[in-house]
Structure 1
Amino acid sequence: MMPNPREYFKGIIVPDEPPGDWPFKDWVSPTDWEQAQLTEKAWIGFWFFDASVEALRDKLPFTQIVVGFTRSGAASAARVALRANAVYICVDWNLHKKCFLLAAGSKSFSRLLLSDLSEDILQLEYLKILNQCCVVDLADYTRVAGLLTHFVIEHELSHARSGHFRFIKEVFRTPAAARAIELVADNSAFLLTYPALMFPVIRRRKSLKDLRRLARLFGYSLTLNFLSKNARLELPGKNYPTFEERLIVIFGNCLVPCGKRRGSWAQVALNQTKAMCIVGMRDAIIDIRANNAFRLSALFDNVGDDLKHQRVNCVTCSIFARNFARRTSLLYDDILTHAKDFEQFSQTRFGGFDKKEFRKDKFEPSPCGYCSVERKFHQTLSSFRDRVAIAVKKCQQKN
């Protein structure tokens, strides 16, 4: 008999029966949920979440974190409620399936991002991918689906950890403050998802090839996740951040001052992870623009395949990164106008809100000799190749 995956959880509690003070309307048994996912590997996102909670146990202001499932069809994939010193997290029944399809980049799913999928169509798409993809792809899709699940749950927990509920209750909630709250939660969730992405590779000192592949796939699927969320909202940009704003915050966490490989193996791995996350986001933007059902701002007009000789997350040599760095700086300035209130209501320094930590490692365009010289070299080389090609073409025409 296979052991129950929930027996290995140390930081969170996933009970078989609803607790007496369960604050949500309905409840789905974890056993029924696992059977509906058709694999116990669907727990991978909760394993990541459990490891994160256990690692930060001494810094969290909660005595316990209880996780349950619901089929209520709420707009949010996960919801959080506070009761005394306990946190209750309600996860949508179909969250893993949706994250799996986003990770798989299902074309039929992408076309339907503007509308909610019925449970039958979602199940058919899910089964199709499970039955058709190879073992390696299945492993990648499952792991990235777990990372997305982890991100979604951490986003909601960040609201509780950062005192956002108290802030909303006690302070007048302006649209700007409402957007800032969501962006701060995105920032915190992304930083806490990094270790789950990198740890297995760093621990075993594997080739960076696996890490780059997973990071690129995660960046792609996270972009689709933002788009699917905003496509269902009627008021993005008013009481909820736009797709572009959410993406810019993630870009800010991935930028580096110089893309030159240097430092320890772990630092190189981290820079590679950041770079490939951006590459995945860029790939998703290209595909989204090709799908005429979605309108994107002029910020994405320069996105294309012209980054072969640029370090995509280097703010010195990448035009793509520089444009986003400028927008990132402006957006951070807007968020930091609420810093005093956020710090006042934050229940814990780690994962809550700290002005200095929020600005840490958020790079803006700056001169770098190495990248500038290399960029000029590639520009010269490209120009030389173009001239040679033209000369060869003229000679062929004469002959």
Structure 2
Amino acid sequence: MPLYAKFGPDTLTYLYNIFKHLFVYAALLVLVVYFVEAQRALLLDWFVPLPWIGYLSLSISAVIALQFGRSRLFWVCILLAILLFFTHGEIALSSAFNRYLPLIFLVILGYLSCAKDSGFSAHNLVITLAKICVVAIGSYLVLEYIPAVTQNSLSPIYSFANHIDPRLNALYSPFEWLIVIFILILCFVRFIMISDNNHGALLLAVVLVAMMPAYAAFELHNVLALVLATSFLYAMLKDSFNMAFKDELTAIPSRRALMQYVNTLGRKYVVVMADIDHFKKFNDTYGHDVGDEVLRLVASRLNKVGGGGKAFRFGGEEFVLIFPRKTPQQALPFVEQIRQMIADYPIALRNKPRPKKRPKPVSAKGSAAKISQGKTVKITASFGVAKRSSQFSQFSDIMKQADVALYAAKKAGRNCVQLAKQPE
């Protein structure tokens, strides 16, 4: 989805999603900076006797990435281990190559952040390795030969960095600073475009690798490798959890999440079954793509339910709302509000499919490129409400009662809410 398309009625939801993913990695970064700067002696005491801890943590993360099909994180773990090996000084390198190593790795990280997970078939592994080698060799040649050509034109950057702190010029040359800043911006924009834990972990990797030249001690590089391995593990486990417990189409909790959530409920709660009216007919008339958009729309509205309610996709066009510690009478106003919100939302149908590229404006008096808009339709949903009681204490029984109430709502003309007939 283009970036401009993300900003609309759900802008706050989108921004919250960015903040939610960024917070964990920002907290890890702050924690690392604090310990490395304020508790450096303590870290050195811990990690000097454990030179293998970085390799072990990266190996564990690489194995789990292999199992979860996260090829980019797998390659980052392998390359980080190589970077750690060379910074340990096991093999003597030229001073130029030793200086360029973090920058070369930074460029590779930028490439991997923009690439896609390609799996672990022999063909894909060879292709990815070849691409990484090309990026590494190209980076080395650029770092070796371009700075001499651009030295005079980049002198203002040197002066600016020297004015801020002379130590900045000791870390990177002006040309190298341009590369670092470009990769940081590139990975941050990529994270904004695809706000998930994988890209958050890759962004943290870029920041920490960019910091490595500031710390000469191998033990501190070991700390950074340990933190990155931990962030990769968190990213893989969190994304795998989301895949298992979130509905892929609508991005709200799935039926599996519902069954897990039910186990946390007490003795008092309300179950609401929701069903989109005439959805099959709508799907057959306008196509499955439009039907998917309708499902996403309804799910986004249900997900905004108040009163402490929580929305789940049950299957097909059916959704479930759970209101913990509520009676049907207390939950009813919030259900009515959501029903009205869905019914009032117009859907503009297109006569033609959305073009792959944004059309260019036509140069005429006030006229612009015309988008082929079709008619506007509205959708409605019906709701059945049931509560947990002494007679219906099992969740499956309460669901049946809510389903009976939903059938009554359909029979009553749809686009309404019906309460199950249950004993008080």
When Rg is computed on C-alpha atoms for both structures, the one with the higher figure is 2
Task: Determine if the TM-score, normalized by the shorter chain, exceeds 0.5.
Answer: no
Higher strand share: 2
TM superposition score normalised by structure 2: 0.24
